[in-house]
Structure 1
Amino acid sequence: MERIARQLLAKCFGRPSGPLGRLGGRLMAHGNAATERHAVILAAPAEQDVVLVVGPGPGVGLAAAAERSAHVIGIEPSDVMLAMARRRCAPLIRRGRLRLSPGTAARTGQPDASVDVVISVNNLQLWPDVPAALAELHRVLRPGGRLLLSVREKWLPSGLSALAAMIHAAGFDTVRTWTWHPPTRMAPAAAQLSAIRTPRP
C-alpha cells in the first residue's frame, strides 16, 4: 500500500505524468504561487539578465520571471508540466521572452557561464544527486551570477545549514539562508537560500 502511495505521489508531484500529473500541476499552480513569485522578487532579475528556472512545473514562477527579464529559460523533466507551462506562458513565448526545454538541475543543457540568475522553487528535494546538480548550476552561472533556492522547510531534514555547506562546497560564495512564511494560510514555511558564483579576481 505504501509503495502504491509513493507511486501516486510521484505521478502527481515528483515527475508528473498522465491525469494525476495534470491534477498535481493544478495543485502546484495554486499552492506554490506565492512562494514562486516571492522567489522571483528576491532574485530580482533585470531585463537583460539571462534567467534559468529549474523545474518550473506549471509555470507560475516562470511567467513572473519572464515579466522582468527578456531572456528566461525553463528546464523541466516532466512532459505534462512542460505542456502546462507552455499554455500558461504562451504570450511570453510568442514575444520571445521565454523558452522551455526538457532538462534537470544536474543536466541543464546550457553552455558554460551563460546564465545570470538561477531560480529553483520546491524541487530540490527531488534532485537525485544534489552535489552534482549544484556543480552544474555553478557551471552555467557567470562569475558574479546569483542562485536563489526555495524549498519547504519540512523537506530539508538536515536543515538549511547543511544545504549551505553543500552550496559552499560547490564553489558558491556569499551564501545567505532564512525562513519565509507565505501569506497563504495553508502554505508551509519555506527554507530559502541565496548565493553568488565567486567572481574571477
Structure 2
Amino acid sequence: MGLRERFQAGLARQLGHPSGLRGRLVGSALNRRNREAVVKAVAALELSGRETALDIGFGGGLGLSLLLAKAGKVHGVEVSATMLERARATFREELTTGRLVLSEGPMTALPLDDGSADAIVTTNTVYFVDDLGAAFAEVARVLAPGGRFVLGVGDPDLMGRARMLTENGFRIRPIPALEAELAGAGLTVLRHEKFAHSGLGFHLLVTGK
C-alpha cells in the first residue's frame, strides 16, 4: 500500500471512529464540512422547544449545539471516546444543569429508555453500521409515539464512485434499501429531501412513528 492509500485508509477510519489528536482535528473538520447538512437535518425535526431530542453519532458536536437551542433536553450518543471527551469539554454548563446527557454506545444498542426521545437525528453514520435493521429497531424503540426521526446520508451513487470510501469499509446503501429498512422497523418515511452539499448530493429521510 502506497503513501496515498495509507493516508486515505487512515482518514476513512477516523471518519468512522475519530480517536486521539487526529480524531479531534477530524471532529472540527466535520463541523465545518457538514454544517449545511446538519442544520437542515435538525430543522427537519420541526422542534417546538419542549421536546427531548437525541443526536446519534454527534461527532464534532454541531448537532448538539443546534438541538440545545431548539429542544428542552438533549441526549447525545457516540461510539468515539475522543468525541465524547470533546463534547464534555465544550458543553460543561449544559451537562451540569442536566439539559444535556452524553452517553457512549453504538446505534444498535442505544442507552436510553423506551419511548424517551421525541425527536432523533443522525447524519453520516449509517455507513459504519453493519446491522442496519437492528439499528433502526433501536431508534424505533427509543422514539416516542408520534415522534420524528431524521436520517441524513450522502448520495449513494456519488459516494459509490469514491474509491477511498468503497475500499475502506464504508457501507453505502441505495436510498430504497434504507427506506425498506426503516419501514421494517416501523418508521414511516414522511418526506424525502435532496440537496447539493459539499460537491455531492445529500438526502434527508424524514420519518415518523
Same fold, TM-score > 0.5, yes or no: yes
Q: For the Cα contact (< 8 Å) 2:119–2:148, is it kept in 1?
A: yes
- Tell me how far apart the structure 1 counterparts of residues 13 and 22 of structure 2 sit (CA, whole Å): 6
SS of residue matched to 1:117 = strand
The whole-number CA distance in structure 2 between the counterparts of 1:76 and 1:18 is: 15
Provide the aligned C-alpha RMSD in A: 2.0
**Retained in 2: the 8 A contact 1:168–1:175?**
no
CA distance in 1, matches of 2:73, 2:109: 19
1:192 aligns with 2:201: no
Tell whether 2:51 aligns with 1:49.
Answer: yes
Aligned 1:2-41 pairs, distance under 5 A: 4-5=6-7, 7-41=9-43
Distance in 2 of aligned mates of 1:17 and 1:158: 25
Within the candidate set 106, 113, 116, 1:114 is matched to 116
Q: Which runs of 5+ in 2 are unaligned?
A: 161-171
Q: Distance in 2 between matches of 1:174 and 1:81?
A: 30
Q: How does 1:24-173 map to 2 (within 5 A)?
A: 24-154=26-156, 155=159, 157-173=172-188
What is the aligned counterpart of 2:193 among 178, 181, 186?
178
Is the Cα contact below 8 Å between 2:189 and 2:205 reproduced in 1?
no
Report how many residues are paired. 194
For 2:206 and 2:45, locate their aligned partners in 1 and report how far apart those are by CA, in whole Å: 8
For residues 15-34 of structure 1, what are the alpha-carbon distances to aligned partners after superposition, in whole Å with 9 as ceiling and x for unaligned? 11112211211211110122
Deviation at 1:137, TM superposition (A): 0.4
Alpha-carbon distance change, 123 to 187 in structure 1, aligned in 2, over 3 angstroms: farther
TM-score normalised by L of structure 1:
0.87
| Equivalent pair of 2:179/2:189 in contact (CA under 8 Å) | no
Q: Is the 8 A contact 1:11 1:17 kept in 2?
A: no
> What code does the residue aligned with 1:87 have?
A
Residue 6 of structure 1: CA displacement? Answer: 6.0
Conserved 8 A contact 1:153-1:189: yes
TM-score (norm 2): 0.84
Identical aligned pairs, as a percentage?
30
One-letter amino acid matched to 1:46: S
